[in-house]
Structure 1
């Protein structure tokens, strides 16, 4: 039988060769598709990693899911730009981003997929799905934190002020070149200074930091008061006359408080109120929380004494001054 097959001149060899080539071609096409899809998947993973890191540096608690996805998609698209136009379009449409966790640590997740047309048009497209996860863990909690993202002098120490904050981190989320500024004869001592931008005037002997030098160009700090809900307004209380006054908890409206001010323990709601002790004035109170609402302002200048402490229990435990 084999002998007759090999000596046959009727085209059997050509037919057999053609039949044998089918699995060979399918195998070759599959190899091409596998290698191409593997390369695409690697680029997809790299792009998701870049997007995850970018979202991690910009994420703030309370950011909407849509804003987070748009932020991540911008960086994802920039890194996927080398992909085929059809594949890029599909991966952008499939891009998803989410955030979870609490102030102790937040987790950012990003995912997408890519569809690569098969080498042989009749075959289904090759799919690849990848994910990336980033954990954001805040550093030392700041006891003084300026939240504005671009303000000059977000934390500004001037005049003859002497600021002593043992164990306290002073932080600013501003990216300005002078986000934390010390000038004049002001003196500051603290555990550290951390800012997204840069600092000015924080060198010895005017500045003494336990961490050595200010930490500049850092990630933004989370807002520890983001979930705090101010109390409801109550009836406006009267303010006693004189330069030495004692106030009880409640709501105060459209006043300027000056002189020697003593606050009894409790919660204070200031509506369009200016607290300005003035020369040789003081502001004192133990177990108090002050809510500065409706353009209320607090001014502390030279030769003025401030002695305040927050409550140790209740909904506003640990909060002394809150400005909305």
Structure 2
């Protein structure tokens, strides 16, 4: 298409140079070609971008169903990742095939409407993409959850409009038998291989929730009594308000620390005991690799004020292997004092490790540009407007008791 446009431009330039009397007539003939060529290049570019988007959606879809054996469930789950029927005029655009090696291949056909080429009868581009995924190990559709909500309270899970959670192998287990055990509002999508609720009463005001099971055998706290509680030194490594653009922090005790401005924070590998509140202001960039954050009581926390870029991973060896963020649970008084914890307004977040906050009423507002790999335990959970891509943490840890499926794309 671009070659036609360039050839037409060269022709026009020769006519101008020759100064022929037929220039106006010739221009009138060539101008529509120029318009179609230029517009065609725009249509082709739009189609290419759409193909990339559809390919990414199909990759996620086959990953989500690689370990699912039921044909109806597999198709329903995969379709939830793809564009709604109102956006695609193709009838039955998604086809899934179970292969002899146990993998699943998806093929999706999509029509992109043209804005310029339709004037010459080319109304659309038809895009066909394929993807194949393989699952090994225990299928998450019937196996372990990686998000556990422990509170036996009404509205233990609240899914608000705008929540968008997708996973190929991470199930969600809710232990509440109260009424309602969870509430889901319209404009939200939770697409996971397992959403298991011990109770049977819930309120669903709309939205998309795949693989809901009620009256289900939701699993109990997988880490209860297993995690080590380190001694807390009386001396603080850092406290109070801190000003600057760049901080490199060492393991230690951090007492009611505020980082002013929008600094870059690098946490060196090791154990960080957070006493009180660590405030990280909007716009900060946080990098914490091989790090464990420990809260000695329910009033301790890290509070981000939105607009944060946060990348953190747990240690891969030693006493705290696999532990990214956790709290003390040995005190009955502490356990009886549930407190709010907010994962607030990240513009980009990647977490890897165990997050153990069984005494926290967690609110999740963050956005992930990449997939976080976590095993999370909370008391209750509110999912607000957020994009959350999550898979089970599969790193080495002495506290991980069960394994889940491993899924991968195949070339």
TM-score under structure 2 length normalisation:
0.36
Greater CA radius of gyration, 1 or 2?
Answer: 1
TM-score under structure 1 length normalisation:
0.45
Would you tell me which structure has more strand in proportion to its own residues? Answer: 2
Q: Relative contact order: is structure 1 or structure 2 higher (C-alpha 8 Å, sep ≥ 6)? A: 2
